[in-house]
Chains A and B, each alone.
Chain A
Amino acid sequence: MPTATDLVTDLPADFAVFGQAVDTSMAGLLGGTTGQVLSKTSATNMAFTWVTPELGDITAVTAGTGISGGGTTGAVTITNSMATAITTSGDLIQGTGSGTFARLGSGTNGQILTTNGTTLSWTAAPTSGSMTSIASGSLSGTSLTLSSIAQTYKHLYLVINNPGFTGTASLPMFRINGNASASNYGMKSSQFGTATWLNNTALAYIDPTVSNGTAYNTAANYTYVLQIENYASTTFKRISYAAMVGFLETFAGFGNFLSAAAITSLTFSTVSGVPTFNSGTYILYGVN
């Protein structure tokens, strides 16, 4: 028979068969003290024990600056107000004072971010005093021609860096609009460190090393720059150029492209015409 301390799981069944033992596995539920809760000790059925729960001391969640929501009971949600202020791709958040902020929508195509000293805003990009990269890449072939140059800038600025080439040493040259007439190139040049200015008007191209540079085919530390003023003009175009050849030779030259045609293409090559570039880069800027 069940004893006074046994727990009966199915009383009618227990008494249906006299003397049948009862399931006493729930006897472990006896005991415990005030405030304790039942806790599983393993995954096994009826594996319980009484434990004293750890009590938290948070009584409320309060939203601070830049945060909204909070509460004192139940599931509490807090939200980043800066994140929800963003409504559109490209939005920025800018401070409007101590601990305050506001959404700044993205500007329109081509606009730039500016400030009046305290507040940011989008404004149109300046149409003067700017340089825009309009073509760049690596040198290849026996020559590089930059064609179909838009007539929308005031000036052009071309930089050739470290041009190296295979074959016999040679000297660099620029040609404008594919023009190979010496009468169209009125240039004078000089090598720094010499007192002589050479008249290059007999050349059918711009010679940035004044025909005095050391012929080369390596690429270390060589830079050529070409500036063309008012290239879209239909009168003479003023040109200045410089060459930094290694660390020892530096050249500069000035002159006019004596043609009424607006400049639409520039060619960089070598005066001997046949070496193939195997290194070097170029970048052409439109200048306003």
Chain B
Amino acid sequence: MAKTSILEVTIHNVETGEIITRPMNDDELAQAAIDQANYETAKADKAQKAADKAALLAQLGITEEQAKLLLG
């Protein structure tokens, strides 16, 4: 049987010193899913921008350093 991954959060109560680790509740799971989706989107955007930049430089026939020189 495949092992089920349970996402847990650690909460350290600074006032009492109590430390508990418990499974994420529904709100926390939902936020983790949003964070993960945003991260994947940002990562894809970053990769796409890098690809677009490389393609443009190739189209212009110049290097990145030459492009910086032009814009500088």
- What is the interface of chain A, defined by CB distance below 8 A to chain B? 134-135, 137, 139-150, 170-171, 173, 180, 204-205, 211, 269, 271-274, 276, 284
In the complex, the answer to whether A273 meets B8 with C-beta atoms within 8 Å is: no
In the complex, the answer to whether A147 meets B7 with C-beta atoms within 8 Å is: no
Q: Which residues of A contact B17 (CB under 8 A)?
A: 135
In the complex, the answer to whether A143 meets B36 with C-beta atoms within 8 Å is: no
Please list 7 pairs of residues, one from A and one from B, whose beta carbons are closer than 8 Å in the complex, sorted by A's number: A137-B12, A142-B7, A142-B8, A142-B24, A143-B10, A204-B35, A273-B39
Q: Which residues of A contact B7 (CB under 8 A)?
A: 141-142, 274, 276
In the complex, the answer to whether A272 meets B14 with C-beta atoms within 8 Å is: no
In the complex, the answer to whether B39 meets A272 with C-beta atoms within 8 Å is: yes
In the complex, the answer to whether A147 meets B12 with C-beta atoms within 8 Å is: yes
In the complex, the answer to whether A137 meets B14 with C-beta atoms within 8 Å is: no
Looking across the interface, which residue of chain A has its beta carbon closest to that of B23?
Answer: A141
- What is the interface of chain B, defined by CB distance below 8 A to chain A? 7-17, 19, 21, 24, 31-36, 38-40, 42, 46
- Cα distance, A52 to B13, chains bound together (Å): 80
- Cα distance, A170 to B40, chains bound together (Å): 10
Chain A contact surface mostly? loop
- What is the minimal beta-carbon distance from B13 to any residue of chain A, in angstroms? 5
In the complex, the answer to whether A141 meets B42 with C-beta atoms within 8 Å is: no
Q: Assess A273 versus B10: contact at CB under 8 Å? Given A140-B21, A142-B24, A211-B42.
A: no
* Top-10 shortest CB links A-B: A273-B32, A273-B35, A148-B15, A141-B10, A141-B8, A272-B39, A135-B14, A271-B39, A273-B36, A145-B11
In the complex, the answer to whether B39 meets A147 with C-beta atoms within 8 Å is: no
Q: Which residues of B contact A269 (CB under 8 A)?
A: 35
In the complex, the answer to whether A148 meets B16 with C-beta atoms within 8 Å is: yes
- Cα distance, A272 to B34, chains bound together (Å): 9
- What is the minimal beta-carbon distance from B20 to any residue of chain A, in angstroms? 10
- Cα distance, A146 to B20, chains bound together (Å): 11
In the complex, the answer to whether A147 meets B8 with C-beta atoms within 8 Å is: no
